[in-house]
Structure 1
């Protein structure tokens, strides 16, 4: 097993940590919006709805656009899989 005790000292660690934090925030906030939409409006926000809504959000803009879009695509896929499993 590889020793990872030195990873916090790696020169890219602060940037990777920042991007992970922003990615987590974007995913969780998007998931919150999907859940609120389902609970109160009885509608499902698609990837395109989320992208339009969140494109001006700070976490979305702080991450490269391709990455932000992929995060929303992953959430959309996870949501679809959740409902297909019921």
Structure 2
């Protein structure tokens, strides 16, 4: 069992601007790391795991824009999304009738309006 707490903050709340900026920075990190993983997978056929992505992106401005703990959680989330994609591919190859089509690579977050989760 996983216990979570979800908090909704209205746009009129004074904390909204700081949280929005942090979630935008989280989106930027997610997209930058996803770019590295996608390029490696598409052109070299190699999946970059969490540790490899961390070492490639730890000096990137998107990684440093957030506290280290939050940045690492964003990278873990991306790793989890890619592993779910690979698992879906295995299930699809075994029985394609469970899907409407072939599972797609994890996508980028929307560039200007997109936000990402803060853990």
Is the TM value for this pair above 0.5?
yes
Q: Deviations over 1:40-64 (max 9, x none)?
A: 1111111001111111111111101
Aligned residues: 82
Name the structure 1 match of 2:56. Answer: 53
Q: Are 2:45 and 1:33 equivalent residues in the alignment?
A: no
TM-score, normalised with respect to structure 2: 0.65
Q: Does the alignment pair 1:82 with 2:90?
A: no
Q: Name the SS of the counterpart of 2:76 in structure 1.
A: helix
Counterpart contact for 2:58–2:64, Cα < 8 Å: yes
Does the aligned pair in 1 maintain the 2:32–2:62 contact within 8 Å? no
Give 4+ residue runs of structure 1 displaced > 6 Å after superposition.
none
Tell me if structure 1 keeps the 8 A contact 2:41–2:47.
Answer: yes
From 8, 11, 28, the counterpart of 1:8? 11
Deviation at 1:9, TM superposition (A): 2.1
* 1-structure distance, mates of 2:16, 2:77: 24
Alpha-carbon RMSD across the aligned residues, in angstroms, is: 1.5
Bigger proportion of residues as helix: 1
TM-score by length of 1: 0.88
SS at match of 1:9: coil
